[in-house]
Structure 1
Amino acid sequence: MTTKLETDRLILREILPSDADELFLLDSNPNVHLYLGNNPVVSVEECKEYIENIRNQYILNGIGRFSVVLKETGEVIGWAGIKFITEPENNHVDFYDIGYRLQENHWGKGYGYEAAKAWLDYAFNEMKAPAVYASAHIENTGSNKILQKIGLHRKEHYVHHDLPCYWYELKREDYSK
C-alpha cells in the first residue's frame, strides 16, 4: 500500500507484521472489547493472523484498516480506516465502513476523532466513495460521539452478532469538509 495519511498528531499507515505486539496490547484489553462482544485476543499469534487478513484486504479491495501512530513518539496506539464490507450487515452489502480502535490509555484525547475524520475525508475526496457507513454499540458513548462529530447520521437501531447497535451513514452529496 502506498496510502499514508497524516493529521496534526497522527500518522495513519498500513498495518505491518511488526505491529503485532502493539495490536496485542490493544486487543487483549477487556475494556477495549466491552462493546465488541467481550472477546479479547489471548495471544500475539491471533494478532498476527488479524494483520495477515488486513493486509489481504489491501490487495483485494485497495483499502483497509491502518495503524494509528503518534507522530511525537512513533508509538502504534491502535488502528483506523476504511474497510470494504462484503458480508451482509443491516441489509447492506459491498459498502465502505469507517472504523477505529485505540488503546485505552489514549481514549478521550481526540485521536479517534482525528483519525476518523482523516479517513472520512479520504473516502470522499480520494476514493470518491458514494457513501460511508459505520456502526457502534448503542452504549458506546465515545464511539457514537465520534461518528456524529465527523458528520455521519444515525439512521436506525439494529442487532449485529447479538449486539444492539446504531447504524450510521453519510452520502457523498451530503458530505462537507
Structure 2
Amino acid sequence: MKTLIETERLVLREITLEDKEELFQLHADPKVQKWTGEPVVESLKEMEQAIRIRLKDFRKYGFGRLAVILKETNEFLGWAGLAYLPEFDKVDLGYRLKEKYWGMGIATEASEAIIDYGFNVLDLDLIIAIALPENKASIRVMEKVGMIYDKQAPYDEMIQEAIWYKLERKVYNKR
C-alpha cells in the first residue's frame, strides 16, 4: 500500500483488495449512496470487481481514487481522489466518506491535497467535480476548495441533472 498524499490528519493511499470489506460497508450504506445517484452495492464480490476496475484505471492513467485513513487511529474513513472520465475526456475529483465522518472537514482537507497533487505532481490543466443538485454538502466542498460552478447538465442516462464544477490550473496557481 503506497501512501501518495499526507495532510495534517489524513493519509491518502492506494486502494487495495484488502480494503474490500471497508469499501463494501461504505457502498452498501443507503444513506451514503443516496447522494451519489449510484445503487447500493449488494455483495463483497461486486465490491471486489469494482476495486479491480479502479486498480486497472490507476495503472493505466497513473492516478485514481485513494483510501482515506485517519492518521491518529489508522481508521478507514472512505475514499477520495481523481478519476479519468473517458466519456468526457476530463479528470474528476470525487470523495465518499462513512456517514459518521460527515461534517468534519475531511472531504475538504482531502480534496485540497488531491487538487494540489493533481496540478503540481500530475501536471493536470483542469479538474472537474460533479454532484447531484440536492447534495449541498458536496457542492459546499467544491466551493471551499476553490472550484467554480460550470453548468447543470446530464452525467449519464440515470443522472439527467448534475451540477458540474471545475478548476483550472492557471486559476489555482493565482490563489
Q: How many angstroms does 1:36 deviate by?
A: 2.1
Gaps of 5+ in 2: none
TM-score normalized by the length of structure 1? 0.92
Q: How does 1:97-108 map to 2 (within 5 A)?
A: 97-108=92-103
Q: What's 1:156 paired with?
A: 151
Q: What's 1:175 paired with?
A: 172
State how far apart, in whole Å, the 2-side matches of 1:53 and 1:6 are.
25
Q: How does 1:11-160 map to 2 (within 5 A)?
A: 11-37=11-37, 39-87=39-87, 93-160=88-155
Q: What's 1:166 paired with?
A: 163
State how far apart, in whole Å, the 1-side matches of 2:60 and 2:128 are.
20
TM-score normalized by the length of structure 2? 0.93
Q: 1:2 to 1:71 in 2, by over 3 A?
A: closer
Q: How many angstroms does 1:31 deviate by?
A: 0.8
State how far apart, in whole Å, the 2-side matches of 1:54 and 1:3 are.
16
Larger % of helix: which?
2
Q: 1:99 to 1:38 in 2, by over 3 A?
A: closer
State how far apart, in whole Å, the 1-side matches of 2:105 and 2:170 are.
26
Segment drifting more, 18-27 vs 161-170 = 161-170
Q: How many angstroms does 1:75 deviate by?
A: 1.2
Given that 1:26 and 1:103 are in contact with CA atoms closer than 8 Å, whether structure 2 keeps it comes out as yes
Gaps of 5+ in 1: 88-92
Given that 1:5 and 1:12 are in contact with CA atoms closer than 8 Å, whether structure 2 keeps it comes out as yes
Q: What's 1:5 paired with?
A: 5
Letter in 2 for 1:132: I
* CA offsets 1:144-163 (integer angstroms, 9 cap, x no match): 00001101101111122333
State how far apart, in whole Å, the 1-side matches of 2:163 and 2:150 are.
7
Name the count of aligned residue pairs.
172
* CA offsets 1:49-94 (integer angstroms, 9 cap, x no match): 111111101111111101001111111111111111112xxxxx22
Letter in 1 for 2:67: S
State how far apart, in whole Å, the 2-side matches of 1:73 and 1:86 are.
36
State how far apart, in whole Å, the 1-side matches of 2:54 and 2:154 are.
25
Given that 1:81 and 1:98 are in contact with CA atoms closer than 8 Å, whether structure 2 keeps it comes out as yes
User: Once superposed, which parts of structure 1, at least 4 consecutive aligned residues long, lie more than 6 Å away?
Assistant: none
Letter in 2 for 1:53: I
Given that 1:156 and 1:168 are in contact with CA atoms closer than 8 Å, whether structure 2 keeps it comes out as yes
Q: Match of 1:100, SS?
A: strand
